[in-house]
Chain A
Amino acid sequence: MTQSSDAMLEKLANRDYQYGFVTDIDADSAPPGLNEDIVRLISSKKNEPSWLLDWRLKALARFMEMLENDVEPTWAKVEYPKINFQDIIYYSAPKQVKKLESLDEVDPQLLETYEKLGISLSEQKRLHGVAVDAVFDSVSVATTFKGELEKQGIIFCSFSEAVTRCPELIQQYLGSVVPVSDNFYAALNSAVFTDGSFAYIPKGVRCPMELSTYFRINAANTGQFERTLLIADEGAYVSYLEGCTAPMRDENQLHAAVVELVALDDAEIKYSTVQNWYPGDKDGVGGIYNFVTKRGACRGKRSKISWTQVETGSAITWKYPSCLLQGDDSVGEFYSVAMTNNLQQADTGTKMIHIGKRTKSTIISKGISAGRSSNAYRGLVRIQPGATGARNYSQCDSLLLGDRCSAHTFPYLEVKNASSTIEHEATTSKIGEDQLFYCRQRGISEEDAISMIVNGFCKQVLRELPMEFAVEAQALLGLSLEGSVG
């Protein structure tokens, strides 16, 4: 690579994190440490029913057992010092005196914070067609367009609110996709999760707008443990987006979320993420540990769950949005762009578990590594004995920018049914000198040429994002937006 393109990459790699400010706001925080009292405190702050407290305590016991047996997952290609789970604050919320009746009552400083992040909570100012649930540290502070959605029977609110509003749905589905003891971080989340988003789309309803949650970590030394549950009833459709940022701090902060999706017969859920947690500085100091369990169950026949993620943030990403393809003819999709810079580490991918007949899955993963970062795709495709006629196609491409980064591909294909068809392919390459020269000979600067080529490399994924998010994602990737022609 020529000198000027090195300089360009350097610039890309050293781009400042734009969302690193801290909001000075009074917070109601619990003392650090993990024990039954903390779990009881969280549960009581939320006025939870006793069955939920019991559920949490069971999860805590399970987590403590795992901690004792030292089963913290180590198989991912990431390295970090051991986390002391007793040093973390498990509950922090902006102080508010009473329950909010309308957006006007939200602390203006919070509203301002979201304005600064480019998320307007004022419904008039919102782009048409997106409803937002804003989660600040551990608590949902506002949900927009609730009224309009309710007219169609759609429930979209904070998880805490859902516990009181539709406890039967929560009781039926919570932990049904990601059980309490599924994995180390899922157990932790189940014990101490504080808030998150909930959505229920009733039978036959096509959700008229995008639902969106915007997560913000603000307080120091806190972990963020949100829980998201989306249920699409028979024939329903919903497109859901999430975004996230955090202040620049020198210490690492833990984010261990759990997302559960359930799609019943003929239902479809499209779940898009633009993950931009603080990645740490160029020497690898600070940044978020993003250890997230996301899983969707295609329970119904012909149901479909599609994950799209653009991962640019976090010091460490450990994330495998997965699909359990239980219903016959159900479909799972995973589209991912993961870009790592400096000393970032990402180990991300998916699991497609084919259980029902003629289930189909598609995996498109694009990894871009720069700086001294490490970027791994890890994916499992499992065809169970009953999944007659199942099909999977996986394509995992890696692009290396610079000679000090690395790109890894770890696909696992487990096939227990002979009538299935599985195809996996992967490539690793750098931006070709001939491609760069071709662009430059047409008068396009090297910087624009690299952007254009990286953009082209990610296109299969970016085009899966809802329009508004695609713009944000491309900006995040440091790319010029490909224009309206073509």
Chain B
Amino acid sequence: MSDGVPMLEIKGLRARAGGAEILKGLDLVVGAGEVHAIMGPNGSGKSTLANVLSGRPSVEVTAGSVLYQGRDLLELAPEDRAKEGIFLAFQYPVEIPGVSNAYFMKAALNAARAHRGEEELDGMDFLEFARKKMKLVEFDEALLNRAVNEGFSGGEKKRNEILQMAILEPRLAVLDETDSGLDIDALQVVANGVNALRSPDRSAIVITHYQRLLDYVVPDFVHVLADGRIARSGGRELAHELEKKGYSWLEVAPPVEAAAP
């Protein structure tokens, strides 16, 4: 990656989902090595942003641009974005009956490796590699042989997302409310997963409703999303301010800049 090109550059992004406009001119720049937290009330467009970045077919981009390492991201198919290093930790991980977790992850890892011109891992090598990662996120190995997310508890599903992230080692990780519904121990695991990936050439966008996670994953920047736009940006102190004052505080506060509707 050439110096100076941001990891992600979003300009004037508008997007529709479920028949309504959700993102209404969103701008965001994420530099290489940075961790950005995106907070905001329910319905402000946080998940829609995650869906746009990962290419979910049900979300329609109507205006604006998204550059990923200087390339147009929006023209790529979801699997190509993944192979290029974008990872979405799903808010609601999907169950795939009959397909084992190990097989699924090996297929995903080998798809990315093939894309990078690297040799595919065989079963044994993959297991060895996966075991190290499982330690990191305290993942029960028995879950590896179960069908993807099938019958997993909420916490197990989230750990599974973080394990997949650890295995795929993405350049840009997007965590969509991965912390919701987790106890402190599980939260620590999620944080370990994200922190282990921190490096000058990797970035992360952490979407969360609560600032709690940000005590463990210390962000470089915090943005507040409201009604489809970034309403406020700042350092990590912004998260504490939000926690204290609540999201209603935003409604009276003026936006950073008056964007045209």
Q: Which residues of A contact B (CB under 8 A)?
A: 2, 4, 432-435, 437-446, 448, 452-453, 455-460, 482-486
* 15 pairs of residues in contact across A and B, judged by CB atoms under 8 Å: A435-B94, A435-B96, A438-B94, A442-B164, A443-B79, A443-B83, A445-B79, A452-B104, A455-B98, A456-B97, A459-B98, A484-B123, A485-B102, A485-B106, A486-B145
Residue in chain A with minimal CB distance to B94: A438
B82 touches A443 (CB 8 A): yes
- The distance from the CB of A485 to the nearest CB of chain B, in whole angstroms, is 4
B67 within 8 A of A: no
B104 to chain A: which residues have CB within 8 Å?
439, 442, 444, 452
Total A-B Cβ pairs within 8 A:
107
CB-based contact A440/B82 at 8 Å? yes
Chain B nearest Cβ from A11, distance in angstroms: 17
Asked if residues B96 and A439 are in contact (CB atoms below 8 Å), the reply is yes
Interface of A is mostly: helix
**B94 contacts which chain A residues (CB < 8 A)?**
432, 434-435, 437-438
Residues of A within 8 A of B96 (CB): 435, 438-439, 452-453, 456
Say yes or no for B154: interface residue by CB 8 A criterion.
Answer: no
Please judge, given known A-B contacts A445-B111, A452-B107, A486-B145, whether A438 and B90 are in contact too, CB under 8 Å: yes
Contact of A482 with B100 in the complex, beta carbons under 8 Å: yes
**B97→A457 contact, CB < 8 A:** yes
Distance from A339 Cβ to chain B, minimum over Cβ atoms (Å) = 15
A440–B103 CB distance below 8 A: no
- Contact of B57 with A443 in the complex, beta carbons under 8 Å: no
In the complex, how many residues of chain B place their beta carbon closer than 8 angstroms to a beta carbon of chain A? 42
Interface contact A444-B147, CB-CB below 8 Å: no
Chain B 26-56 interface residues, beta-carbon cutoff 8 Å to A: 54-56
- B69 contacts the other chain (CB 8 A): no
Whether A483 contacts B111 in the complex (CB less than 8 A), given A435-B96, A437-B56, A460-B98, comes out as: no
* Complex alpha-carbon distance, A435 and B98, angstroms: 12
Question: Which residue from chain B places its CB closest to the CB of A397 in the assembled complex?
Answer: B97
Q: Are A444 and B97 in contact (CB under 8 A)?
A: no
Are B83 and A458 neighbours in the complex by a CB distance under 8 Å?
Answer: no
- The chain B residue sitting closest to A457, CB to CB, is B98
Q: Which of A442, A483, A484 counts the most B-chain CB atoms under 10 A from its CB?
A: A442
From known contacts A434-B94, A438-B93, A485-B127, infer whether A443 and B99 are also in contact, taking CB-CB under 8 Å: no
Q: Report the minimum CB–CB distance from A46 to chain B (whole Å).
A: 46
By a CB distance below 8 angstroms, the chain A residues around B115 are 443
Per the bound structure, the CA–CA distance linking A190 and B153 in Å amounts to: 56
B63 at the interface (CB under 8 A from A): no
- Distance A432 CA – B150 CA, assembled complex (angstroms): 14
User: Which among B96, B103, B122 has the highest number of chain A CB atoms within 10 Å?
Assistant: B96
List, in ascending order, chain B residues with CB within 8 A of A485's CB. Answer: 100, 102-103, 106, 123, 126-127
Residues of A within 8 A of B57 (CB): 2, 433, 437
Shortest beta-carbon distance from B82 to chain A in Å: 4
Q: Is the CB of B99 within 8 A of A441?
A: no
- Taking CB as reference atom, which chain A residue is nearest B78? A440
Q: Which 8 residue pairs across A and B have the least CB separation, nearest first? A: A456-B98, A486-B100, A486-B102, A443-B82, A459-B98, A456-B99, A442-B108, A440-B78
- Beta-carbon nearest neighbor of B109 in chain A: A443
Taking CB as reference atom, which chain B residue is nearest A480? B107
Residues of A near B95 (CB, < 8 A) are: 435
Beyond contacts A444-B79, A455-B98, A482-B103: 12 other A-B pairs, Cβ-Cβ < 8 A, are A4-B77, A438-B93, A439-B96, A443-B115, A448-B111, A452-B104, A456-B97, A457-B97, A482-B99, A483-B103, A485-B126, A486-B102
Contact A453 B168 (CB under 8 A): no
**Which chain A residue has the least Cβ–Cβ distance from B99?**
A456
Q: A437-B56, A485-B123 are in contact. Are A444 and B111 (CB under 8 A)?
A: yes
Chain B positions within 8 Å of A443 at CB level: 79, 82-83, 108, 111-112, 115, 168
- Whether B211 is near chain A, meaning CB under 8 Å from some CB there, is no
